[in-house]
């Protein structure tokens, strides 16, 4: 049976279940055939690069820190932190949200890298019962809209939203003009390489998601996913979020080679699509059960079309999902196989990506 006959594009790795996908007679999907989108993305990246470089030039050295780095210890955020310090000459405050599921290897990488780069580091660890309740609720219920889940699983979206809102509060408290994240183009749309989020607008845009989350985990969600009103009342300007890695044409192997001198080592207890978090396999499995495709397909397909990854490498990542990791996390969350079996498969509607939901991405 060919890939097309089994429901996967023969050129990239997108599945037949991916929203809006269409195959031609050769089994090539419409995303691979859309040359206009490739041109549009390239133009958006060029504009973002020009703006980012100009803004950094204007704002560098104006305060104690130039940028707050959302640092997970993974390869992409490690490389981004290195770019910020070595290429852009920024004074960086590194911030890690320890969700209780970070690999011990990732935590060791964080310590070695921040020491090697000479940057200050803050680690925030939310209450384990609360965070686990959020991940469980995200797995078993429809917390976020379909549009927010084209590029990411529900559990990862809940976690990254918490990272984003915590980072914004920290940046506002310290007057830091830039927030840095380690996303690749594919994980975010081209218009998300740089953006400025007004918290009032963010509150309005995520009202439905917050109501859904609150109904399952209680009012404590507002304390974790909100910024205190007394701080917002003093704000004169919000920080810009920048994804510096999107400006680089670089392969995973090149990223790893570049960060190894900093002491970075690939953890051995994560799946093929993660280099820092043990939750990933569980979140991927839930997304596959609900929607019929891996949440990494869009990102990996983009890297294939850019020539930064082969199709075989992408498939290897998608299928590297250790069952023992999934079962371990399920046990920690107090879930059983019956909970997963109760999930009803659904099909997402086709829609374009954007800056979605609770944290601004």
Beta bridge partners of 178: 67, 240
Burial 163-199 (b: 16+ CB within 10 A, else e): bbbbbbbbbbeeebbbbbbbbbbbbbbbbbbbeebeb
Strand pairing report for 92-97 and 67-70: parallel
C-alpha to C-alpha distance for 166 and 359, rounded to whole angstroms: 9
pLDDT in tens, the chain (361 residues): 345 445 899 999 999 999 999 999 999 999 999 877 777 888 999 999 999 999 999 999 999 999 999 999 999 999 999 999 999 999 999 999 999 999 999 999 999 999 999 999 999 999 999 999 999 999 999 999 888 899 999 999 999 999 999 999 999 999 999 999 999 988 898 888 999 988 988 889 899 999 999 999 999 999 999 999 999 999 999 999 999 999 999 999 999 999 999 999 999 999 999 999 999 999 999 999 999 999 999 999 999 999 999 999 999 999 999 988 889 999 999 999 999 999 988 878 765 444 343 343 3
Q: What is the 3-state secondary structure (H, E, C) of 79-99?
A: HHHHHHHHHCCCCEEEEEECC
CB-based contact 97:162 (threshold 8 Å)? yes
Parallel, antiparallel or unpaired: strands 240-242 and 67-70: unpaired
What's CA 193's distance to the chain center, in Å?
A: 12
Burial class of residue 349 in the structure, from the number of CB atoms within 10 Å of its CB (0-12 exposed, 13-18 middle, 19+ buried) = exposed
Phi-psi region of 232 (alpha: psi -120 to 50; beta: other; left: phi over 0): alpha
Q: State how far the Cα of 74 lies from the Cα of 92, in Å rounded to an integer.
A: 17
- CA-to-CA distance for 357 and 355, rounded, in angstroms? 7
């Amino acid at each position: 049976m060919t890939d097309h006959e089994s429901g996967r594009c023969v050129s990239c790795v997108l599945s037949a279940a991916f929203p809006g996908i269409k195959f031609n007679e050769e089994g090539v999907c419409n995303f691979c055939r859309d040359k206009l989108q490739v041109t549009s993305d390239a133009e958006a990246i060029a504009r973002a690069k020009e703006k980012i470089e100009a803004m950094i030039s204007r704002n560098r050295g104006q305060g104690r820190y130039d940028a707050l780095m959302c640092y997970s210890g993974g390869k992409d955020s490690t490389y981004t932190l290195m770019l910020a310090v070595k290429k852009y000459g920024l004074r960086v405050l590194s911030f890690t949200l320890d969700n209780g599921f970070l690999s011990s290897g990732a935590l060791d990488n964080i310590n070695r890298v921040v020491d090697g780069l000479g940057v200050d580091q803050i680690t925030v660890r939310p209450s384990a019962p609360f965070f686990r309740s959020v991940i469980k609720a995200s797995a078993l219920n429809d917390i976020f809209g379909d549009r927010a889940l084209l590029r990411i699983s529900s559990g990862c979206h809940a976690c990254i939203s918490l990272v984003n809102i915590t980072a914004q509060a920290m940046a506002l408290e310290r007057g830091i003009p830039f927030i840095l994240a380690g996303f690749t183009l594919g994980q975010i749309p081209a218009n998300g390489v740089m953006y400025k989020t007004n918290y009032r607008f963010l509150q309005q845009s995520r009202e439905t998601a917050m109501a859904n989350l609150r109904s399952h985990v209680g009012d404590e969600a507002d304390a974790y996913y909100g910024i205190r009103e007394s701080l917002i009342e003093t704000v004169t300007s919000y920080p810009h979020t920048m994804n510096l890695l999107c400006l680089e044409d670089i392969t995973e192997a090149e990223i790893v080679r570049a960060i190894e001198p900093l002491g970075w080592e690939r953890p051995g207890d994560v799946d093929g699509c993660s280099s820092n978090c043990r939750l990933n396999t569980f979140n991927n499995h839930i997304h596959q059960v609900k929607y019929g495709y891996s949440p990494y397909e869009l990102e990996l397909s983009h890297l294939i079309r850019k020539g930064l990854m082969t199709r075989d490498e992408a498939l290897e990542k998608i299928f590297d999902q250790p069952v023992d990791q999934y079962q371990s996390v399920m046990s920690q969350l107090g879930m059983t196989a019956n909970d997963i079996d109760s999930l009803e498969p659904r099909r997402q509607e086709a829609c374009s990506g954007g800056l979605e939901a609770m944290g601004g991405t």
